[in-house]
Amino acid sequence: MIETPVSSPAAEFSAAQAVAAGTDFAELKVGPTGLFWNEFRPADGACRIWHWHQHQAQCLTPDGFSVRSRVYEYGGGSFCLGGEGLVFVNEKDQQLYTQTLDGAVPKRLTDDQQCRYGDVHWHDGQVLAVEERHGQTVEHRLIALREGSREVLAEGADFYASPTVSSDGQRLAWVEWDRPAQPWTHTRLLLRQRDSSGAWGPACCVAGQDESLQQPRFDAQGRLYCLSDRDGFWQPWGEVDGHWQALPAEPADHASAPWQLGASSWLALGPQSYVASWFEGGFGQLGLRTAEQPVERFASAYTRFRSLAMDDGHLYAIAASPVSPAAVIAIDRSNHEVRVLAGGAEVLPAEAISMPQSIRYTSGNGIAHGFFYPAMHAKAPAPLVVFIHGGPTSACYPALDPRIQYWTQRGFAVADLNYRGSTGYGRDYRQALHLHWGERDVEDACAAVTHLAGLGLIDPHKAFIRGGSAGGYTTLCALAFHDVFRAGASLYGVSDPIALSRATHKFEGDYLDWLIGDPLQDAERYHARTPLLHAAQIKVPVVFFQGELDAVVVPEQTRLMLDALKANGIEAEGHFYAGERHGFRQAENLAHALEEEWKFYCRVLGQVPH
């Protein structure tokens, strides 16, 4: 049976346009000569440093270079200001380079092909960094580099992050943790102080009980602060009147899960004063808190804030809203006026954008969260696409995502879920997937369909599910173990967690044990939650998208799943991309995958794509 063709007044918003709108920014830095940021453009997949100076932006990164760290595989903290210009990590060789601001060719600072560098900082002529050395084993250290010399600042722990020095140079702080912990489960805050000779004294642990700590900061007087989730949310703690205590804060997460190094979601100003972003019902807020005054809020039109930086006159952030993609913004601290310095270009007219609606619904014995985007130009109830984010300890945000708008423009509603285990809703919610991955996340995805159908917003018989990486695993589990979805899409998704545990890298070496259990002791649990072993239970069509260079979810894993479905007579389709790794970056491939997924769902519905 052929149903109504899929078309809309905004069908001209193509997959290529949706991908091209995906320019993103990271790592704002303020210096005497202006503002700097790292900018990623899908057109060539490169990351380049830009400099905002005298009311204009200039690209500093020459062709042949891309500024991106691969420490812990996810990188972050890829450049800093120092010396006569920049210090940055070059993506291709993972070495540190220096570069002046006059357009000179970058010069190599390090030359050790066994090492990667990330979370770089500058202090007193030295580069502080996390060093990742690949030999027979992978080792991590905190080091200080000066041309011709290397000093080890900390070693012995499995992982390090956020080396931070007080402005007077007398105190050094960092975060560290050991396996099997993840940075969002248990970490420690360490401190070293200089002795009378100027040498660093022994390290002492400032905090690190049953808590996750991140983003240590010093104020101008050298007092130490850090975000801790000891009280249930990532909130500021610090040295106040000689004691380590919580600062006044909203009962909300003031950070996301630290998958990447170099995050800056808050800035310490004094004993009871700081600038921070935090989440309220999944929506980002930005404000200044002092002991004496109510919270002073900024840029209320935006719903997500990252990479905060500040100078005497302005507060800077990477911000996005439901109608604006990521942008570098400057906020005048005196009158709150917001100026867009880069990004934020119109993707669609405001009236053509589907706006996020916060959803909170019952799932199993808990509550789940997410955002619902109504279909445009379609009669309710509409078909639904459920988006499952990766991680799984990550989150989705109510900010303009051109991929979501691509679907809503074509008559599909979208449910973008922060299933249990996501960040932004406190420690207990984040820990909910402990030993329950493949259960509670799947339960939440299925319950979202029931919830939205009960409100008359979607057609439950035309529900689809899709996700990448860990989200692909949730997708395949939902298709194998529940009869809710009409079809699904797995983008480099996990179909065999045991195979993943054998191939994964050090940073996630114990993550599956936390999510599912010990592969030997809990073998039955793994068997019960391995989609590849239950492929015969999948009765609906599935489309796969996979990078041939993926070292996390290897292509063979996806091919085995694809072949198993075909052998069972299930409609299954696979698209493999020769130059892609784990997570696609090439614009042509991103657009191709998006369009082919849409066409696949149209065929499942018996519709003719237009």
pLDDT digits (tens, 9 = 90+) for 44-97: 889 999 999 989 999 999 999 999 999 999 999 999 999 889 999 999 999 999
The single-letter code of the amino acid at 316 is Y
129-158: average pLDDT: 95
State percent of the chain over pLDDT 70: 98
pLDDT reported for residue 51: 97
CA distance 417 to 559: 27
Name which residue leads in pLDDT, 398 or 13: 398
Residue identified by tokens 């052998």 is: 567
Residue identified by tokens 């066409």 is: 599
Give the helix/strand (H/E) hosting 501: helix 497-503
pLDDT reading at 1 higher than 90: no
pLDDT digits (tens, 9 = 90+) for 361-382: 999 999 999 999 999 987 779 9
Question: How is domain 349-604 classified at the CATH fold level?
Answer: Rossmann fold (3.40.50)
83's tokens: 């010396």
Least confident piece of the model among 10-19, 272-281, 438-447, 581-590: 10-19
pLDDT reading at 543 higher than 80: yes
The single-letter code of the amino acid at 250 is E
Describe the chain by its helix, strand, coil percentages, rounded to 5: 20, 40, 45
Q: What is the DSSP letter of 375?
A: P
499's tokens: 């195979």
pLDDT reported for residue 609: 77
315-335: average pLDDT: 97
417's tokens: 């879920």
pLDDT reading at 489 higher than 80: yes
CA distance 145 to 151: 6
pLDDT reported for residue 470: 95
**Residue 491, SS3 per DSSP:** strand
Give which of 294, 257, 310, 262 is closest to 279, Cα–Cα.
Answer: 257
pLDDT reported for residue 308: 98
pLDDT reading at 6 higher than 70: no
**Residue 102, SS3 per DSSP:** coil
pLDDT digits (tens, 9 = 90+) for 156-208: 999 999 999 999 999 999 999 999 999 999 999 999 999 999 899 999 999 99
pLDDT reading at 242 higher than 90: no
CA 553 to chain CA centroid, nearest Å: 18
pLDDT band (50, 70, 90) for residue 241: confident
CB proximity list for 465: less than 8 A, separation 6 or greater: 385, 386, 388, 445, 474, 475, 478, 479, 485, 488, 489
488's tokens: 């699904």
pLDDT band (50, 70, 90) for residue 5: very low
Question: How is domain 23-343 classified at the CATH fold level?
Answer: Methylamine Dehydrogenase; Chain H (2.130.10)
pLDDT digits (tens, 9 = 90+) for 339-356: 999 999 999 999 999 999
pLDDT digits (tens, 9 = 90+) for 545-560: 999 998 888 899 999 9
Let me know how many helices (H) and strands (E) the chain has, helices first.
Answer: 10, 36
Angle at the Cα of 110 from the Cα atoms of 43 and 96, rounded to 5 degrees: 30
Helices (H), 427-487: 427-430, 440-454, 470-481
pLDDT reported for residue 3: 43
Q: Half-sphere exposure (CA, 13 Å, Cβ side) for 170?
A: 10
Which residues of the chain form CATH 3.40.50.1820?
Answer: 349-604
- Does the pTM exceed 0.85? yes
CA 142 to chain CA centroid, nearest Å: 23
413-418: average pLDDT: 98
475-487: average pLDDT: 98
Residue 61 contacts residue 79 (beta carbons within 8 Å): no
Per-residue CA distances from 506 to 128, 130, 515 (Å): 22, 15, 16
300-326: average pLDDT: 97
pLDDT reported for residue 375: 96
pLDDT reported for residue 11: 54
pLDDT reading at 2 higher than 50: no
State percent of the chain over pLDDT 90: 86
CA distance 314 to 330: 6
Which residues of the chain form CATH 2.130.10.120?
Answer: 23-343
Q: What is the mean pLDDT of the chain?
A: 94
